[in-house]
Chains A and B, each alone.
Chain A
Amino acid sequence: MTRVKVLLAIASVAMAVGLWFALTAPADTLQGDFTRIINIHAPSMWLAFLAFGLTALGSAMWLIRKQSRWDRLAQASAELGVMFTAIGLFTGMVWGQAVWGRAWDWGDARLATTAVMFFVYLGYLALRGATLDPTVRAQRSAILGVIAVVQVPLVYFSVNLFRTLHQTQSIRLDGITMPREMSIAILVNVVAFTILYAALMLARIDLAKAEERVAAESALAGDAVKPPRLSEVKDV
């Protein structure tokens, strides 16, 4: 737990720094202060992509190696991916309401594909929750985890594939198309969110290990079944 606490402390500092950058970066000339929400929205979506990518990696490695640590990675990452996607969707809707005048726009391919991705991974978590046997659960969710990752590039490139309301990528490999201070603020927040993600991942994996230990102990319940007290039958 110590490394989790250390990472959480670092994440807290990083988030505070990110918040400072977000609040002190210049506002957009057209969208005003509403732009600042991008410092939560964009990092959340990035982390969602990263998380689901790691889910796919963990799933693939489990299918190859059949080691429970890969399943723990896949599970923890999927849960956090769903959380970050929800934050991204919510902040996106708040931003959309303020800037476009509507929280949801069906003309926006990225919104629609992100919503679909959210529900795909909700289904992944529901599948895990419905499967009691750990090995069967790992196997089935690994298969779904590998298939579901196709959503990620679909969401990311949706703004390029479909000309829609959503802006295209501002930070790309061939350059950055936003003011320097804004891009620095976003990048600082991406780093802060990533540290937070790492801390939460480690905490969730530690929790999963503890759950497995408890399950393994209770699996020995045969020893805990005691001889009946036949002389006390009449006293019930």
Chain B
Amino acid sequence: MDRLIDLERVGVSLGGLPVLRGVDLSIGPGESLGVTGPNGVGKTTLLRVLATLLAPDAGSGSVLEAALGTPDVYEVRSQIGFLQHRPSVIPELTLAENLRHAATLVGANAAKAETALRVVGLDDVASRRADASSFGMLRRTEVARLLITAPRILLLDEPFSGLDVEAQELIRALVYRTTSDGGAVVMVSHESGQLSSHTQRLLPMALGSLDQQS
């Protein structure tokens, strides 16, 4: 596969307002890209397009060779990992149960959940309910889930916000594993300093467009 992500003049409107305009983006295997910009410029919307959760209103694109806005995306979604701004866990399940649930749904061995919990340092609190866990613990749980699902495309939305140094190192290790396995990473943050130490390329975003000249 030549290009894992390929967007051409992609535009998205939400609520009748243009959020992304004329976005061109091309990312190949082993590449990592940081997208920076102030709040409201469309960074999260860009990630949702790359996650195939949002279809473009203009332009065209493909992720893992599945054309955006077509049923083909259903075949590739399980190869995309998305660390969103708010943790996505089932609050009433324990951290371990959340991971076993994810492992079962992707057809992975449930024992991987225990291994992943140990690697992220949550094995002693695995039986704690998600709704009784801190933001940092939930973030680590999500990283554990991404270790289990091993996505080819890794999308990270403000991944370092609210995390201690150890957890940030975990994110860095996840990014490194993904790119060294031939995957691609796109990370967005309003702090360019954080991105530059974790990604190979940095693109600023403004008014819904990426500044490719930077």
Q: Size range of the interface on A?
A: 10 to 19
- A236 near B115: Cβ-Cβ < 8 Å: yes
- The answer to whether B132 has its CB under 8 Å from any CB of chain A is yes
Decide yes or no: A233 and B147 within 8 Å by CB, A226-B121, A228-B140 being known contacts. yes
Question: In the assembled complex, which residues on chain B have CB atoms less than 8 Å from the CB atom of A234?
Answer: 177
Contact of A224 with B124 at beta-carbon distance under 8 Å, contacts A229-B118, A233-B177, A236-B115 already known: yes
- Compute how far the CA of A229 lies from the CA of B169 in the bound complex, rounded to whole angstroms: 10
Q: Check if A232 is an interface residue, CB within 8 A of chain B.
A: yes
A173 adjacent to chain B (CB < 8 Å): no
Which chain B residues lie closer than 8 Å to A174 at the CB level?
none
Nearest A residue (CB) for B143:
A228
B46 interfacial contact with A, CB 8 Å = no
B173 at interface, CB cutoff 8 A: yes
- With A and B bound together, what is the CA distance between A222 and B140 in angstroms? 13
| A132–B131 CB distance below 8 A | yes
Tell me the chain A residues, 207-236 only, with Cβ under 8 Å from chain B: 218, 221-222, 224-230, 232-236
B169 engages A225 (CB within 8 Å): no
B203 within 8 A of A: no
Interface string of B127-152 (1 = CB under 8 A from A): 01001111011001000100110100
B129 CB to closest chain A CB (Å) equals 9
Q: In the complex, which residues of chain A have a beta carbon less than 8 angstroms from the beta carbon of B63?
A: none
User: Interface code A104-133, partner B: CB below 8 Å = 1, 0 otherwise?
Assistant: 000000000000000000000000000010
Are B119 and A228 in contact, CB atoms less than 8 angstroms apart? yes
On whether the beta carbons of A228 and B128 are closer than 8 Å, the reply is no
B 146-185 to A, binary, CB cutoff 8 A, 1 in contact else 0: 0110100000000000000011011001101100000000
> Is B167 touching A228 in the complex (CB atoms < 8 A)?
yes
State the A residues within 8 Å of B (CB): 132, 218, 221-222, 224-230, 232-236
B-side residues, CB < 8 A to A, are: 112, 115-116, 118-125, 128, 131-134, 136-137, 140, 144, 147-148, 150, 166-167, 169-170, 173-174, 176-177
Could you list 12 further interchain pairs (A-B, Cβ under 8 angstroms) beyond the known A221-B128, A230-B173?
A221-B137, A224-B124, A225-B124, A226-B122, A228-B121, A228-B166, A228-B170, A229-B119, A230-B169, A230-B170, A232-B119, A233-B174
